[in-house]
Every structure is written in structure tokens, then in C-alpha cells.
Structure 1
Amino acid sequence: MGTDTRVYTLQDIFRAAIAGQKAVAVWRLPNTDTVQACVQLGKQFTTGQPQLETSPFGFFFCPFQTSRQNQNLFIKGDLYFDGDDLVTAADAPAQQLDSFLKLLQQEQQNDSWHPSADDENHTCQTEQGFIDAVTKAVAAIQAEEMEKVVLSRNNRIQLPDQFSPIAALKSMAAAYPRAFISLVSIPGVGTWMGASPEILVSINEQQVFHTMALAGTQTAVENVADAIWRQKEIEEQAMVERYILSCFKKLRLRDYNEVGPRTVIAGNLMHLRTDFKVNLRDVHFPTLGTDMLELLHPTSAVCGLPKEPALQFILAHEGYNRSYYSGYLGPVNGSNGTHLYVNLRCMELLEHEAILYAGAGITEASDPQKEWQETQHKMQTMREILSIFG
């Protein structure tokens, strides 16, 4: 890799990527200060099922369900920004690199992003539609067709006139220090940004594998020790735990460390969380990351249990296409390791509007009106970021 000695800002790099029709991903890992970015210079983004161990450095962006319209995408790290320096990969295509560096030097003035390829076809779930779907889900659970299903909805709102993706990203990073902060913009696909509290699969520099069961939601209180959880939320979280343990069992993995459940704060909300870790230096399981990714996604925290009937219920009753909401995203094989997060607390940027997404876990004890309120609370994460632009 080579380092460009000139000093560029994150804003410079993002604007040049948009002007040059390049895919760009920007992220900040939880409990860190460094905002990182990578840019792909070529035009091929679609990929098959991610193979984490053999992948080059880059950024995965994968949907809730793959389809012709929503495919697994990979942004190869031809250029990497570590917060200070811009580093070029040894195999970066020379001609495209030269063109990109020229764009960087031109100091692009506009705050724009790659627009959604499907702007006209975005349908939104209404309040009544969501409540009807929850009512049907409770009836299906009572009839023992499934144990739990996660139903989501979306909402279109006007973007403020002065909106800037990089300024919004920096506000998210400051407001949500414990979340995974991301901004992904891909030509012909669109632009998404969010602040996710949920690890799907992570392997750090010390070769420690990490996943988590995160479920149950209530409004945050000042002291987590004062949190009181209802049976509904405790059971919902336990279902996600059991699902992760069933994945370990399928892989015949017995050596893991389990901590939780404990109450954690994510923005204006609290959740129950249990962490599962495996030291890959002690356990010979070189493909654990890829194998668990394949088994886990979509997790019971975004789909339901058992997975198949819950997924079929979502497709039949949710009333819109989730696209990349509740899929997963994150850097792979970088200097900090591989960190894939569930795409939650997110929004999709259209030309003049944003689409906000949120979901709620439905069990036998669910109240449709309360579940609607839960989605309202979750959408507040992105609304608050947009409100800073006036």
C-alpha cells in the first residue's frame, strides 16, 4: 500500500467519490474515536455469500433478503482513509486511481450522495397496516404457527435544506458513542446511514469471535440498575439467545464464553443483551465467522422463530420491501479485524427525502398499539440527527 502525503478530509474523500461515481463506505466502530472510510475504484459491487476469511479488505453491505433488486454488495478497499492518511491498495487500478486523485484536488463543493435506484417504487407501511399485521401475527403465534415474528415499517420524511451526510455522520458519532456508525453510498443502489447497536459477527485483532443476542426494548432510564423488564421482553431476548446457542450446536462448537443478559443503553432506548465470545486461538475453527454469518442471518432479532414461518409471515404481511434495512454491513479484514453489524436505526437517503426504518418483536403478549409506539421510539434515533439541520 502507498500513502498519499497530501492532507484530505473525510468530506473531501466522500465528495470526490460521489463526483466520480465511486462506491464509498464510512464507519466508526463503537467506543472508538476514529472515523474510517474506503472507496472502490472499479464498478463491480455485487458478490455472492460473503466468505469472511478469504475476502480482501473492504466493506460488506447486504440486504435482509437477497433478490435481483437487492443483492449482497462488497466495496473493495482500493483507497482507505484511517482518519488521518489516505492509503492506496497495492492492486488499485492505476488509471481510475489517477482520475480519483484529480477529483480530490478539484475540491468538490456539493454535498450530494448516490440517489436510490428505485426512488419511485418505495412504498410505506401505514399505521393501520402495521397494527393489522401485528394483530394477525399475535393470532398466528397463539395458533402455534410460530413463536415470534419481527414486523417492521418505514416512513418517508423531508430532508432539511442544509442536510450534509458527513455532518450527519459526525453528529451520530457524537450522539451514539456505543453504536456502530455508518454511511454507505453506492452508484445505482443508493445511500444509507445509521447507528446500529447490534453486532452480527465480529472477529477482532486478537482473533476473538463475538456475536450477541439483543432484544427487548423500553425507553431509557437514568440508571440501568432501575430498569424493570416485563416477561414479554425477557422471553423475547431468551429466544434470540436460544437461537445463537442452536447455531453453535449445529457447528458442534462447545467452547464459548457467555455473559448476560444485562441491560444496555442504545441512544434513547434500553435493550437486554447477552454476549457470546470464542477465542479462535484456543479453538481450532478457522471458518467460524463465515459459518455463523450464514446460520445467523437473518437473526431471530430481525426475523423471528422458527425462522422459516416467521420469514414467510413477514413477506406476506409486512406490506413493503425492507431492502437493506435489517440486513448487515461492516468492514472486513481491516486493521481492526472484521465487524459486521445488523443494519438497524437507519435511514435511506433519497434526493429530497429520507426513509426511516424500525421494527418490533411480536410475541403472544404483544399489544399492537404499544408495538407501533416502539417503532416510533426507534425512528427517533434518526429523526434527532435530522433535526440538527433545522
Structure 2
Amino acid sequence: MSVTFAESRLSAHAIPTASNFTFCSSHRKLHTTGIAENLHLPIFEHNTTQRFTKSLRSAFQRAHANGISNPIVVGAIPFDLTQPCSLFIPVESHFGTTPIVNQFSKRDPIEIVNRRSFPEEARYKQSVKQAIANFQLSDIRKAVLSRVLELDLNTQLPANTLFHSLQHQNPTGYHFSVPLEDGGQLVGVSPELLIRKEAEWITSNPLAGSTRRLRNADDDTAAALALQSSHKDLYEHRLVIEEINRVLQPFCSELDIPAAPSLLNTETMWHLSTLIRGRLSNANISALDIASALHPTPAVCGYPTPLAHKLINLVESFDRGLFAGMVGWQDSDGNGEWAVTIRCGIVRGNQVSLFAGAGIVEDSCPESEWAETQAKLQTMLKALPIQANAEAAQ
């Protein structure tokens, strides 16, 4: 399906741009061009979504009036819902069921000239210890601690090169490429679905509890089975599922949550996964309404969420921005698909920022949690046209 903004009826605020948004999942492929209207308001202001909801409704109405038959909003929403969004209504939107990219061509290797980790290894491990100590003195049961790896390259990296490489190396997942206002591009492949809404039906696929893939097939299978029986990881996963169940129950007349998690694998990681399906009591509730109620889940923040959020602000040394937020789309009928913004990076010319996090619970080991972030960074590092990718994460 293709939706086109009638050029002869462009409003004054419509600013076509060469920047494109792409979101690909096993469910559908979406590609957009141009910007009819930006929406940079935060989701939450003064503990309410009313201003954002009203602004989005008005933007859809203007798009309808200017020739878009079925307008959509696309982009990324930050981890902190009180920060401005990177959303817009595109000029043209194209939905399909076939891959947007079906060919991958390699390019000459790029050299890393400088790398910086925030925090550095010792500081990250100390933050894990600090979080564990906090658990013993408070009601916090889990906190997700993140890090950013900043790379300076010897030449500019086209964002579409990284995006196509991710598609080639990771055929499953939620592939996304989001133009940012400062000229950068948010690129990634998330394994985690926050919410999909189709009429009255919703789907969510939270992940919590992870271990890295191993090269030897027998060792890899053993690692997956160990994850599936890990007390620490099952506890971490249960905290996430119980909270998502609590949030979704008021929205749903039917809710199906499996009793135990299954295994989900990417090219670099094994995850504990629970596929949740439900039927809404009110089909007029939008995908963003539900996403905003769910986010941030304990999978990217912690539990209880408000306390974990405060702990993250205390011990993390950088602003997450769009990392661990949500990325996707929604149409004017409220249908849409939003993935959790993980396994991602931001490309700005010859600079690349990569992000990863690990869920900390009372049984966590600082060395293991650092190693988990290293493993998660490999998804993006392996997609870069750089020799000795593994070394870049050190």
C-alpha cells in the first residue's frame, strides 16, 4: 500500500526532506519519504499525555485536509517520556510485505581512530555494585544499567550502509532507520516488540534474561539451556512479565500470557522471551496509548519502575536519549507497531555512538553484566565495515 501527500496542497509547515524513515519486521515493511509535519512534544507533560494526544490528533487532521488519505506518525520516542520526541508525519508512506532491501554489497573497511566508553569498565562494574547494595536498602528489585561506546572513524559512514549490513547479518528482528533533527540517523535491529495493535488485537514480546551465543554448536545449545534454567534470569524475566500483565489487564477483555518463557535467539544473543497476546476491551485505544502505559518496562528500566528510574538517573553517567525508548509507527486509526529501541546506534558523519544495557538483580555479578553489554554491542559492531570488530568493544 502507498500513501502519497498531494504536492499541490502542501501546507506551509510541510518541509519535504531527503531523509527517510524505514521500519521492517516479519509482519510488514514500511518506508517513508519527506516530512509533512514534525512532532517534538514529549509524551508526558505534568503527568499527563493530554497535550501530546491532542497535538497528534490535530496533526492527523491537518494531514487529512492536505491530501493524505491515511496519514501515519513515525519515528522514535526517548527512554524518558518527559523529553522531546523525534516523530513526524511523512509526505509519502509505503507499506509492503516484501523486503525493502534484498541485496547487500560490501564496501572497503573503515578504520576506528578513537573509541570511548561511558562509563569505562571499572566505573560500570562499580555502578552494578552500587545498584546491588541499593537493593538491600530499598524496595528496588531490578535496575537496567547502560553504557555507550563512541567511535571516531577515519571517514564518514553512510547510515544506509550500516542499516543494510544489519539486515544482511540479522534477517529477523525489527530493523529501523530514523532521521534525526541534527542530521544524525538512529539505526538498529531490535529483537523486542513493545506493542503491536491491529483493530482490537494486541501483541507484545518482552525479553529479559540473556546470554551470548557461542561459536561451537554444542556449547551454544548448552548456553541456551543454562539460560532457560537460570534462577537469576528467570527471576529477572518474571519481574518484567508480572509488571506488563499488571499494565495490560485493564485494557484487555482477553489476555494470554504463557506460564513460562521460551528461548529467542539473535545472531549474537540468547534471550528469555514471552509472547503475549490480548484483545482490547475498547478498540479505540491506540497503539501509542498502550505503549506509553507500558514504557519503560522493567526490561529496560527496572522494578519498581519509578524507583529504578531514580536509581538509573543517579548512577548512569550519560543521558540515554532515544536509546531504550521506542521506535515505530501508528496510523490515524490507532493501529501501529512499536519496538524497544535496543541493539542500536546513532550515526553522525564519521562518529558512531553504540548503546547496550544489562538487567541488574540482587544475584548479579559485575563482571558478568559488563560481559553481557559487550556481547550485546556485537550486533552493531559486526555490522560496521570494520576489521577486527570484536576489538572495538574493548
Q: Given the two structures, how large is their TM-score scaled by the length of structure 2?
A: 0.75
Task: State yes or no: 1:174 paired with 2:172.
Answer: no
The residue that corresponds to 1:61 in the other structure is 76
**How big is each residue's C-alpha offset from its partner over 1:20-45, in whole Å with a ceiling of 9 and x where there is no partner?**
7555311211366x4x3213334633
Offset at 1:213?
2.4
- Kindly report the root-mean-square deviation, in angstroms, between the aligned alpha carbons of the 2 structures: 3.2
Residue type at the aligned position of 2:285: T
Residue pairs, 1:1-390, within 5 angstroms: 21=17, 23-30=19-26, 34=29, 36-42=30-36, 44-49=38-43, 51=53, 56-66=71-81, 70-82=83-95, 124-159=118-153, 161=155, 163-188=157-182, 190-204=184-198, 207-220=200-213, 222=217, 227-229=225-227, 230-249=230-249, 251=250, 253-259=252-258, 260-280=260-280, 283-287=281-285, 289-333=287-331, 337-387=335-385
Q: Structure 1 residues 335 and 81 mapped into 2: Cα distance closer, same or farther (>3 Å)? A: farther
Unaligned runs of 5+ in 1: 5-18, 86-121
Q: Determine the C-alpha separation between the residues in 1 that align with 2:378 and 2:334.
A: 30
Unaligned runs of 5+ in 2: 6-14, 44-51, 61-70, 99-115, 389-394
Q: Do the aligned residues in 1 keep the contact of 2:156 with 2:351 (CA within 8 Å)?
A: no
Q: Determine the C-alpha separation between the residues in 1 that align with 2:366 and 2:282.
A: 46
Residue type at the aligned position of 2:272: L
SS of the aligned residue for 1:78 comes to: strand
Q: Relative to total residues, which structure has the larger strand share, 1 or 2?
A: 2
Count of aligned pairs between the two proteins = 333
**How big is each residue's C-alpha offset from its partner over 1:99-150, in whole Å with a ceiling of 9 and x where there is no partner?**
xxxxxxxxxxxxxxxxxxxxxxx99321122111111000011223300000
Q: Do the aligned residues in 1 keep the contact of 2:118 with 2:318 (CA within 8 Å)?
A: yes
Q: Do the aligned residues in 2 keep the contact of 1:45 with 1:73 (CA within 8 Å)?
A: yes
Q: Determine the C-alpha separation between the residues in 1 that align with 2:306 and 2:36.
A: 37
Q: Do the aligned residues in 2 keep the contact of 1:60 with 1:332 (CA within 8 Å)?
A: no
SS of the aligned residue for 1:215 comes to: strand
SS of the aligned residue for 2:327 comes to: strand
Q: Determine the C-alpha separation between the residues in 2 that align with 1:2 and 1:330.
A: 17
Q: Structure 1 residues 294 and 82 mapped into 2: Cα distance closer, same or farther (>3 Å)? A: closer
Residue type at the aligned position of 1:387: P
Q: Do the aligned residues in 2 keep the contact of 1:39 with 1:76 (CA within 8 Å)?
A: no
Of 36-45 and 228-237, more deviation after overlay is shown by 36-45
SS of the aligned residue for 1:294 comes to: helix
Q: Do the aligned residues in 2 keep the contact of 1:38 with 1:58 (CA within 8 Å)?
A: no
Q: Given the two structures, how large is their TM-score scaled by the length of structure 1?
A: 0.76
Q: Do the aligned residues in 2 keep the contact of 1:25 with 1:75 (CA within 8 Å)?
A: no
**How big is each residue's C-alpha offset from its partner over 1:152-173, in whole Å with a ceiling of 9 and x where there is no partner?**
0001113363733223212211
Q: Do the aligned residues in 2 keep the contact of 1:64 with 1:323 (CA within 8 Å)?
A: yes
Q: Determine the C-alpha separation between the residues in 2 that align with 1:285 and 1:82.
A: 22
Q: Do the aligned residues in 2 keep the contact of 1:31 with 1:177 (CA within 8 Å)?
A: no
